[in-house]
Structure 1
Amino acid sequence: MQFSAREDIEAPIQSVFDMVSDFERFERMAMRRGIDVRRLGGGTAVTAGTEWNTEFKLRGKPRQMSVVMTDFDRPSQMRFDAASKGITGFTTVDFLALSPRRTRLSVEMSLAAKSLPARLLLQSMKLGQSRFRKQFQVRLSEFARELEQRHLHGG
Structure 2
Amino acid sequence: MNLSFQEDIALPQDAAFAALTDFDALIAAFMPRGGAVARLDGPGPVCVGTAWRTVVALHGLERVLTARIHTLCPQDRFSIQGEMDGIVAQLDVALDPAGQDCSRAQVDLNLAARSLRGKVLMQPLRLVRAQIAEKMAARLSRYARRIEARRG
TM-score after normalising by structure 1 = 0.89
CA distance in 2, matches of 1:34, 1:61: 16
| Aligned residue number for residue 33 of structure 2 | 33
Larger deviation, residues 126-135 vs 43-52: 126-135
**Which residue does 1:135 correspond to in 2?**
135
Identity over aligned residues, as a percent?
Answer: 29
Unaligned segments of structure 2, at least 5 residues:
none
Report the Cα distance in structure 2 between the residues aligned to 1:140 and 1:45, rounded to whole angstroms. 24
**1:49 matched to 2:66:** no
Quote the residue 1:89 is aligned against: 89
Measured after TM superposition, the shift of residue 32 of structure 1 is 6.3
What is the distance in 2 between the residues matched to 1:151 and 1:25? 13
What is the one-letter code of the residue matched to 1:121?
A: L
Q: How far did 1:30 drift?
A: 5.8
Shift of 1:37: 1.0
Deviations 1:8-51 (A, max 9, x none): 11111111111111112234446662322111221230011111
Of 65-74 and 32-41, deviating more is: 32-41
Which residues of 2 match residues 73-152 of structure 1 at below 5 A?
A: 73-152=73-152
Using a 3 Å threshold, how does the CA distance of structure 1 residues 99 and 31 change in structure 2: closer, same or farther? closer
CA distance in 1, matches of 2:135, 2:23: 23
User: Which residue of structure 2 aligns with residue 72 of structure 1?
Assistant: 72
Structure 1: stretches of 5+ with no match in the other structure: none
1: CA distance, partners of 2:143 / 2:33: 16
SS of match in other structure, 2:98: strand
SS at match of 2:121: helix
